[in-house]
Structure 1
């Protein structure tokens, strides 16, 4: 049911989310044992944001309840499944890998189906959802690729219990995802793939054997040589049409300002003091930042509660990474997931249109919290 929620077939994850909430509540003794400061901050934020959203529920009245209960439910589900693997770090890695991969399936189906039907010679970056046919903006569609775009970074360290066949499946998923990301012209997702790969290399290389490092760099060199000699990167190529259009529309100044986002962030900071209870979207549109868009809709109280929750979450990730320095496959995954999610949080509204992405983050933090509290520290 968790995977069905992440997959969201035919837009049914709203109802699956309600069912998951009920099942979590019915787990005997689970709530009492697993309520912590992170959950309380998240729950207070959710209720406050839902209350402000109810004054102008553009997405629909059902989202009042969804905003109020879904984040906390996914947070507790993270704890629930982390508890089921009983502290086995290899299983934690597999759990998070599977959850992240399932989360991307609907987007891959949507974009890759369009590529097979229409190719790359289509100007419109917005594509229909595979399940419902509803047109989804490219920015929202791109967010669902975030985790699978980190696959090369995740596979750098040796992951115990991950079969070779599964590694091949993950790499094929990544290749298909690259094709999809180029179709929707997502610079953010390509940046996430490159940056997380570099960060992972810097983290993992000193911690693994020379033999594995040599094999890894030899493999990278062969792949780069093969691509350089077989693939044309001319922006006039059909498969680069959507991406080339974005590069032509947004020059160096546009990229430096984050597509005009920095100006909106400055205005949002000014409105924190001038309009602390929020403001209309008509003023300058989305702030394209998780925290500032929450400030616009939910006012200063929701804003500071979200800051408190995310700060607590990032500190928990830091604690988990320091907990067992030898578990570098898990630590690498925690670093990569956190970095990639933060990169999207910084440049997109998230709760408006990408709520499932925030819910996945809550699930991920729930797993981290359980790992921190219930399993022994190993230096």
Structure 2
């Protein structure tokens, strides 16, 4: 006999499953900017996030971090729009997007649905990848890779995007490489989709000549190996086996390329990435000179306005670009916010109440996006990616708060 309590519980579980599914769909649409419906998808994302929080009875509190997010986004919006004279566009891009993303992120997670955190990051990664691969498809279809054109047209909205910025769409998905080849992600279908997406992301970097993506992939992958080995406490035998396997793979790849098996070497040498590596070394990259130019001039222009004389249009560093555009106020606020964000991730990593999957994901996403922000003009080029960053950090803050709350409850019960 089915009692009222059982029926009520089943209905609640089904409602939450449906709500989670709607949330994942909205995240996929939002992160892929589906059909270029950016503002509609933003409002849909906010509505679904609030609805999800209501159904799951998520609690909200105003925190110091939320206030810093508000102060940073509003100050950058006001100052940058003052110089550019475009308050309406700046308000949407630099305030509504990142602030609402952080706010919704801090609502949707609770102690009983930490799995939502993992699935949300996977959806964000796949959504960004889908948008990015469409851009590359459009680029290759027009034959621009043969012409070594360094500008890519956005598939949805038609604006031009620098090839280096295009790689930013693949940053999150390539950071999932280790998770996809281990048991951290146990769903075989999801693992297969992620591996295929990573494969095409790396292939795309060869077409568009994006060195940054390859470097981020390598750095994050080996960092993840160290963290993962420490988390699961691998013995020295397992470490030796892994190193032997890794060396075997490296030797195998080298052998194939060196002897041009299946014309792999010929194909690689015909790509934009190979040409770019041979054309200019990383040490000679003009973006490195920006740091010395910035250091000589930053104290002269504390209020921004793009008054500095730089050899490139942008500083190619999110923090320096923010200073260049809007001055020291949002710059300092962003540094304070970054310190808070790092402290949240450190707390998550050290917590014994959080599983390895979430720990690795928290560090991976922070590292990969931060590395990307260090070499690209994100706020000027793809400000939407900063909003994705804020959504993830909003979830990180909520996880930290929930764990702290549970720890305090345990102390009170003693």
**TM-score between both structures, scaled by the size of structure 1:** 0.86
Q: Is the 8 A contact 2:301 2:307 kept in 1?
A: no
Shift of the alpha carbon at 1:167? 1.1
Structure 1: any 5+ residue segments left out of the alignment? none
Number of matched pairs: 371
* Counterpart mapping for 1:247-326 below 5 A: 247-251=277-281, 255-256=282-283, 259-280=285-306, 283-284=309-310, 285-324=313-352
Q: Which residue of 1 aligns with 2:109?
A: 82
Deviating more after overlay: 220-229 vs 96-105: 220-229
* Counterpart mapping for 1:1-379 below 5 A: 1-21=26-46, 33-57=60-84, 61-83=88-110, 86-115=111-140, 118=143, 120-155=145-180, 157-159=182-184, 162-208=186-232, 220=246, 223-224=249-250, 227-231=253-257, 232=260, 237=267, 240-251=270-281, 255-256=282-283, 259-280=285-306, 283-284=309-310, 285-324=313-352, 327-375=355-403, 376=406
Q: Is the 8 A contact 2:210 2:273 kept in 1?
A: yes
CA distance in 2, matches of 1:365, 1:203: 20
CA distance in 2, matches of 1:126, 1:170: 26
Shift of the alpha carbon at 1:302? 1.0
For residues 235 and 241 of structure 1, do their structure 2 counterparts lie closer, same or farther at Cα, with a shift above 3 Å needed? farther
Deviating more after overlay: 284-293 vs 239-248: 239-248
Q: Is the 8 A contact 1:183 1:240 kept in 2?
A: no
In our comparison, the structure showing a higher alpha carbon Rg is 2
Deviating more after overlay: 39-48 vs 61-70: 61-70
CA RMSD in angstroms comes to 3.1
**TM-score between both structures, scaled by the size of structure 2:** 0.79
For residues 60 and 44 of structure 1, do their structure 2 counterparts lie closer, same or farther at Cα, with a shift above 3 Å needed? closer
Structure 2: any 5+ residue segments left out of the alignment? 1-25
Q: Is the 8 A contact 1:90 1:159 kept in 2?
A: no
Shift of the alpha carbon at 1:315? 1.1
Secondary structure in structure 2 of the residue aligned to 1:169: helix
| Alpha-carbon displacement from aligned partner over 1:348-375 (angstroms, at most 9, x marks no partner) | 1210111011011001101101111113
Deviating more after overlay: 162-171 vs 348-357: 162-171
Shift of the alpha carbon at 1:341? 0.9
Shift of the alpha carbon at 1:124? 0.7
Shift of the alpha carbon at 1:189? 0.4
Q: Is the 8 A contact 1:122 1:242 kept in 2?
A: no
